[in-house]
Amino acid sequence: MWPNPVSRHLHSEGSHTELGLFDKLRRSGSKRSDGRDAAADLTYLRNWVAAHEGVEAFVEPKTTVTEVTVCLVAADGQWTRRRTGGDSGARKLSDRLKIPVYDVQKVGYPQRMRDYDARQRILRDRELRRQLEDG
């Protein structure tokens, strides 16, 4: 006999709710399956584009772990990533934000993104060494 496919979700006040195996699939609303709000993501990305110069979008393919994502990269190499609702969602997003969009599998990531990550890694290492020396 297979176990009953029901999980218990414990609430902060100590009560619990039993969830059937497919209950999450039956739910509807503006939140995506990953629990994130698509409208909130769009607002975040709009604000991010407004706060950075020279932003370009790089569409990343679906993997076994994530859906299609878009990586926004600013002129200084700073970047952010969000799920977009598929390839067409990523392209619509770049149209809404009025930024260029590229397929990362065709053009790769820009060098400025790798350079930014390398600079940040150096700064983190320096700070860690400083903290260890101050002990």
Measuring CA to CA, how many Å separate 106 from each of 60, 61, 101?
10, 11, 12
pLDDT of 16 > 70? The answer is no
Residue in 30, 47, 43, 56 with CA at minimum distance from that of residue 110:
56
Q: Which long-range contacts (CB under 8 A, 24 or more apart) does 80-88 make?
A: 80/44, 80/45, 80/48, 82/41, 82/44, 82/45, 83/32, 83/34, 83/36, 83/41, 84/59, 85/32, 85/38, 87/59
d(CA 112, CA 56): 12
Q: What is the pLDDT of residues 23-62, one digit of tens each?
A: 444 444 444 455 567 788 889 999 999 999 999 999 999 9
Q: Return the pLDDT at 35.
A: 57
Distant-in-sequence, close-in-space partners of 106: CB < 8 Å, separation ≥ 6: none
Q: What is the pLDDT of residues 78-124, one digit of tens each?
A: 999 998 888 888 888 888 899 999 999 999 999 999 999 999 999 99
